[in-house]
Amino acid sequence: MISPFLNFIQKSNLTYLVKLFLLILFELSYTTIKKLFRKRRIVFKKIKNKKLVVLTGGSKGIGENILKILIESNFEVIVLSRTKPKLPVEHIHTDLSDFGSIKSAVKQIGDRKINIIINNAGVFYMSKEKDSEDMNLLVNYFGHYFLITSLLENFNKDTLIIFTSSSFSFLAKNFITKESTFFNKGYNYCASKVCINLLVRIIKRNYKLKCVAVHPGLILTNIINSKIINRVFNILNKFLWFVFDSKEQAAANVVLSINNNNLSNKPGKCDFIWKNKIINLNSFYNEENEEELENYTKEFLKNKKIKI
């Protein structure tokens, strides 16, 4: 039921706002029903052998809760973020909109072997200035692309790459961003997540590594760059908390993917997980569009004089 609905939303010719309404209605209904029948709280067991996890955006929101679970599960963690986490953990200051900052972070990681990298950092800008770079694409996609390709020597054949994606990726038909209007605010965030879903397949095809994009759930965080919307979210969180996923549950959904037996290094197999359900992506996610995005990315980095 979930896969057909999400793929219908992406492929349909409905307007962006109608798609957004239907998707949010579906998410809230699903979450409410699940909460009525939810079983006991998820308990994560401690791992016996230390594994190194690199986590981007681990200082607040979902990331802070992901970090908490990882520490409690006995993982060794390096957090890459702009702000320092409250929890005691190795932190490397990293701004994913700044390629120099990413280079510095990679240098500080050194030659340490990475078992898992969770690319959780993200921004949600409602609009962009005319002719300026879109921050959604810059942080959510380009920054993570450059980080992953810069860390390839730190990976081994068993390294797992996880991206925090979003069901909002199904609101965009492709990865091309648009000039903001009243009727498509937030569209470029959706397009940046389409890029992430395609990147999962690019990584699998090019590097034969296990990789997956995870939609953690519909939650109320301060990721959106709008004071008004964040105030509305705070009000909704007080009175309608039961229809949204909690940050703790969303974080658990991301960490649970680590031990998913269906994870694969082959494109087309377990590319996207919606909470804990595997979603079969539609025909847009194919080798031709992967190649188009990869060429677009390389051209963007070339213009920035960034070497991969």
Q: What is the DSSP letter of 241?
A: G
CATH topology assigned to domain 2-200+231-303: Rossmann fold (3.40.50)
As given in the structure block, the two tokens for residue 234 are 């705070």
Kindly state the percentage of the chain with pLDDT values over 90: 68
What lies within 8 Å, CB to CB, of 306 at 6+ separation is 99, 146
- Looking up tokens 């029948």 gives 37
Phi-psi region of 77 (alpha: psi -120 to 50; beta: other; left: phi over 0): beta
- Between 37 and 137, name the one with better pLDDT: 137
Residue 145 has pLDDT above 70, yes or no: yes
In sequence order, which residues have a C-beta less than 8 Å from that of residue 297 and are 6 or more positions away?
141, 142, 145
Q: Which of 53, 192, 162 is nearest to 109 (CA)?
A: 53
Closest CA to 213 of 148, 126, 291: 148
272's enclosing H/E stretch is strand 272-274
- Residue ranges of domains in the chain: 2-200+231-303
Please state the rounded mean pLDDT for residues 72-95: 96
Rounded CA separation 146/118 (Å): 14
**Residue 225: per-residue pLDDT:** 53
- Of the pLDDT bands very low, low, confident and very high (cuts 50, 70, 90), residue 130 is very low
pLDDT interval class at 18 (50, 70, 90): very high
Measured between its terminal Cα atoms, the distance across the chain in Å is: 41
- Nearest Cα to Cα of residue 213 among 259, 302, 278, 139: 278
- Can you give the pLDDT at residue 122? 93
Q: Helix H segments across the chain?
A: 2-11, 16-36, 61-72, 99-109, 135-137, 144-150, 187-207, 227-239, 247-256, 287-303
pLDDT, averaged across the chain: 89
Higher-confidence residue of 211 and 30: namely: 211
pLDDT higher than 50, residue 131: no
Backbone angles phi, psi at 299, to 5 degrees: -65, -40
Residue that wins the pLDDT comparison between 11 and 130:
11
The two tokens of residue 120 are 């959780």
Position with higher pLDDT, 40 vs 74: 74
The helix/strand/coil state of 274 is strand
pLDDT of 260 > 90? The answer is: yes
Tens of pLDDT, residue by residue over 178-188, are 766 766 778 89
The whole-number average pLDDT for the span 150-162 is: 97
pLDDT at 39 over 60: yes
Q: How confident is the model at residue 133 (pLDDT cuts 50, 70, 90)?
A: low
Res. 239: pLDDT tops 60: no
